[in-house]
Amino acid sequence: MPVIDKDVIERISRETEAALVNKDEAGLLKYIHPTSCITIQGKRVTYDEYRGLLKMTFQALETADVNSEQVSLFVDHDRNIATLETKTVAIMRMMGMTVKDTSLNRTTYGVIDGEVKVIESEDTAISSEVLE
């Protein structure tokens, strides 16, 4: 069974950020499990709904510059889980507009079926503005 530690979670965070920038759906879904509890802007979405949102986003997304800052990382070694909080600023070119979105994300990782996966993820918008 994989051991969850600070290095593992920080690597996963870098991988998922790169997957978003590269419009890599498989890279973003790599750590999501069908039982993952995903909440976006206060609405819980299923795995299939999440996949659909990714597809729509990637169809509209022209470019993305994503910068995440770690707010906190707590590793519970006894339970082999970790909770990562990040603040993300994304400047995206979508449908001819440049938009700057700032959000706060809290993700708890654990081991599901022998792999590190998201147990729970909550994404909350802080601000959104059209730059041009």
pLDDT at 95 over 90: no
- For the ranges 12-21, 77-86, 89-98, the one whose mean pLDDT is highest: 77-86
- Output phi, psi for 6, to 5 deg: -55, -45
pLDDT digits (tens, 9 = 90+) for 39-54: 999 999 999 999 999 9
List the one residue out of 68, 61, 70 whose CA is nearest residue 99.
Answer: 61
pLDDT at 1 over 90: no
Residues 6+ apart with CB under 8 A from 14: none
In this prediction, residues 35-39 reach a mean pLDDT of 97
pLDDT digits (tens, 9 = 90+) for 55-70: 999 999 899 899 999 9
Which pLDDT score, from 0 to 100, does residue 26 have? 95
Reduced to 3 states (helix: H, G, I; strand: E, B; else coil), residue 89 is: strand
pLDDT digits (tens, 9 = 90+) for 9-31: 999 999 999 999 899 999 999 99
Helix (H) or strand (E) holding 25: helix 25-29
pLDDT digits (tens, 9 = 90+) for 121-132: 999 999 999 998
